[in-house]
Structure 1
Amino acid sequence: MTIEQDVEDTTLDQLVAWAEALVVGGERRIVGLTGAPGAGKSTVAEQLVTALGPEVAVLVPMDGFHLANEVLIELGRRDRKGAHDTFDDGGYARLIATLRAQRVDDPVVYAPRFLREIEESIGSSIPVPPTVPLVVTEGNYLLLEADAWPAARACIDEVWFLAPDTEIRHDRLLRRHESYGKSPQDAAFWALGPDERNAQLIESTAGRADRIVRLR
């Protein structure tokens, strides 16, 4: 599948401007970044939140809802970690709904964080103050029309699909896997095997995004 004809070439500054346009004082808005593995979701989301500042935006990644390795082993899915059915999609949807409903006089909500160094999630590690008007969330399956993913999407104001060149995306994946201790052979196995199968599914959802963008 090709999405080239729908791609907007843009800049981080433009993303920041689009995000700022969503902000309404005293209300909670949510913007999502999605794309195939290696699309740059985590990096762009972090840059976006940094540019907006902690009083305006907080980052809540979908990756905090990876199922634990012991659960994946029990389910027989450990070798497919990263696939859509290796996440607690229901838990993610409930958190996004809670964040959408959070108001300025509500208590802080704590979200989980995924640590790549140990390949596990750590609960209650990202505080989301009720006074922050914009939540930025990022992950692979924000536009998937299966299981609980649509319930999460229904609570997100806009979803932007990141679509870098495939060669760039593959190179990022190889370097990422190697940086966390995989051999070049294992890195290539994951980047061009499970990651690429997931990428094909994720790219099939791009047409449901509010914007498809390539950063310059």
Structure 2
Amino acid sequence: MSNVTVLHDEAIVELARSLVERGRAAAARRVIVGIAGVPGSGKSTLAARLRAAVEAEAAGLAVVVAMDGFHMTNAALRSAGLASRKGSPETFEAARYVALLRRCRDCEHVERVPIYDRAVHEPRLSDEPGCAVTRATRVIITEGNYVLLDREPWSELADVLDEGWLLDVPAAWARAWLLERHMRTGRSRAEAERKCEGDALNAGLVRSGSRAADRVLCWPT
């Protein structure tokens, strides 16, 4: 694949420096960059590393808004008969996610953002640092499976994001990382294997249903 950025430490620092420059130049509108990829590709890891690198140069400039914070609650999923499909596009409050990012384009807008608590497998608000868009925020890094999905309301992000990036990884890597994560957060091996089956279906949708990315990224081999 041509025009791919390999995410060595130096490349992540360079991406972060570019975000710092763009953020400092932002006047009325914040810079929002989205990272898409299949489940288990390392999107949240990359977003956290980018934010840390930005913060090392400009404290308070960047915040991460994770798509997973907009999961429907488990109670709502059960009520809608969607519990077995958790993680598919229809199990997210996508319109709320898009609307929050749209509001946050305005540099004057401040708002707490939800996170996904993997210990209890539920979205929630947090008072931890980095979980709110503040007056100092000039760069928003958002990440999730469906950031580039070409269907409503996800496709509205095309008008919200300044850039959409795709984190491309081999399917075998993503599955191994997912299996380990599912077990680390309390699932048995059998439960983790079953969850990976659903994740594979969602990965197929990401690969076949996403619009073209502005930048393709991959982890070093």
Aligned to 2:118: 116
Cα shift readout 1:69-102 (whole Å, capped 9, x = no counterpart): 111111111011000000000100100001112x
Across the two proteins, how many residue pairs are aligned to each other? Answer: 209
Residues 81 and 6 of structure 1: is their aligned pair in 2 closer, same or farther, counting only changes over 3 Å?
A: farther
Aligned to 2:190: 185
d(CA) in 2 for partners of 1:206 and 1:20? 27
Aligned to 1:145: 150
The 3-state SS of whatever aligns with 1:167 is helix
d(CA) in 2 for partners of 1:47 and 1:18? 10
- 1:78 maps to which of 79, 83, 90: 83
Cα shift readout 1:31-73 (whole Å, capped 9, x = no counterpart): 1111000000011110110111033211111111000111111
Aligned to 2:48: 46
Task: Please report how far the alpha carbon of residue 116 of structure 1 lies from its aligned counterpart in structure 2 after TM superposition.
Answer: 0.9
d(CA) in 2 for partners of 1:132 and 1:40? 24
2:132 aligned with 1:127, yes or no?
A: yes
Task: Check whether the contact 1:12–1:48 (CA below 8 A) recurs between aligned residues.
Answer: no
Task: Please report how far the alpha carbon of residue 24 of structure 1 lies from its aligned counterpart in structure 2 after TM superposition.
Answer: 3.7
Task: Please report how far the alpha carbon of residue 107 of structure 1 lies from its aligned counterpart in structure 2 after TM superposition.
Answer: 5.1
Task: Please report how far the alpha carbon of residue 214 of structure 1 lies from its aligned counterpart in structure 2 after TM superposition.
Answer: 0.8
The 3-state SS of whatever aligns with 1:33 is strand
The 3-state SS of whatever aligns with 2:52 is helix
d(CA) in 2 for partners of 1:6 and 1:185? 39
What is the 5 A alignment of 1:84-103? Answer: 84-101=89-106, 103=107
Range 166-175 or range 106-115, more displaced: 106-115
Task: Please report how far the alpha carbon of residue 199 of structure 1 lies from its aligned counterpart in structure 2 after TM superposition.
Answer: 0.2
Unaligned runs of 5+ in 2: none
Matched to 2:184, the amino acid is: S
d(CA) in 2 for partners of 1:107 and 1:154? 18
Question: Kindly, what percent of the aligned residue pairs are identical?
Answer: 33
Matched to 2:199, the amino acid is: D
Task: Check whether the contact 2:149–2:210 (CA below 8 A) recurs between aligned residues.
Answer: no
Cα shift readout 1:162-201 (whole Å, capped 9, x = no counterpart): 112222111100001111111111111111x110000000
- 1:194 maps to which of 195, 198, 204: 198
Aligned to 1:208: 212
Task: Check whether the contact 2:12–2:49 (CA below 8 A) recurs between aligned residues.
Answer: no
Unaligned runs of 5+ in 1: none
The 3-state SS of whatever aligns with 2:176 is helix
**TM-score normalised to structure 2 length:** 0.87
**TM-score normalised to structure 1 length:** 0.89
Task: Check whether the contact 2:109–2:134 (CA below 8 A) recurs between aligned residues.
Answer: yes
d(CA) in 1 for partners of 2:87 and 2:152? 16
Task: Check whether the contact 1:58–1:135 (CA below 8 A) recurs between aligned residues.
Answer: yes
